[in-house]
Structure 1
Amino acid sequence: MQLPPRRSAAILLKRYKRFLADVRLADGRELTIHCPNSGSMRGCSAPGSPVIISHSDNPRRKYAWTLEMIQVDNSWIGVNTSLTNRLVHEALANGTIDDFGTLKSIRAEVKVSTKSRLDFLLEGDRGQSYLEVKNCSLAEEGLALFPDAVTARGTRHLEELITLVGSGYGAAVLFCIQRQDAEAFAPAAAIDPLYAATLSRAAQAGVRVLAYQARVEPEEISIVRHLPVNLVEGPSQKRLP
Structure 2
Amino acid sequence: MIINKNIIRSEFIRRPNRFQAYVKINGVETMVHVPNTGRCREILIPGCTVILREETNPNRKTKFDLIAAYKEGTLINIDSQIPNKVVEEALNNKKIKLLNKYNKVQREKTFGNSRFDFKIEDELQNECYVEVKGVTLEENGKTMFPDAPTERGKKHLLELVEVKKSNKEAAVIFLIQMENVKYFTPYDEMDMDFANALRFAHKKGVHVMAYNCKVGENFITLDQSIPVVL
Normalising by the smaller structure, the TM-score range is: over 0.9
Q: Is the 8 A contact 1:75 1:179 kept in 2?
A: yes
C-alpha contact 1:118 1:130 (8 A) present in aligned 2:
yes
Match of 1:105 in 2: 104
* Corresponding residue for residue 73 of structure 2: 74
Instruction: Verify: 1:121 aligned to 2:113, yes or no.
Output: no
CA distance in 2, matches of 1:180, 1:101: 23
88-97 or 123-132, larger mean C-alpha shift: 123-132
Cross-structure match for 2:175: 176
Shift of 1:113: 2.8
Distance 1:109 1:16 in 2: 32
- Give the Cα separation in 1 of the matches to 2:4 and 2:50: 15
Deviations 1:52-76 (A, max 9, x none): 1010111122212001100000000
Matched AA of 1:15 = R
Residue type at the aligned position of 1:230: V
What is the letter of the counterpart of residue 35 of structure 1?
V
Question: 1:210 — aligned with what?
Answer: 209
Tell me how far 1:220 sits from its aligned partner: 1.0
> 1:200: how far off?
0.3
- Aligned residue pairs, count: 229
Q: Percent identity between the aligned chains?
A: 34
User: Is contact 2:92-2:103 (8 Å) kept?
Assistant: no
Alpha-carbon contact 1:101-1:125 (below 8 Å) kept: no
**Residues 117-173 of structure 1, C-alpha deviations (whole Å, 9 max, x = no match):** 000001125831100000000011211100001111100100110111112111000
Deviation at 1:98, TM superposition (A): 2.3
Does 2:10 align with 1:20?
no
Letter in 1 for 2:118: F
Paired with 1:59 and 1:195, the residues of 2 have a C-alpha distance of 39
Query: Runs in 1 of length 4+ with deviation above 4 angstroms?
Result: none
RMSD between aligned alpha carbons? Answer: 1.3
Structure 1 unpaired stretches of 5+: 232-241
The CA deviation at 1:109 is 0.4
Q: TM-score, normalised by structure 2?
A: 0.96
> Secondary structure in 2 aligned to 1:117?
strand
Partner Cα distance (1:131, 1:42) in 2: 28
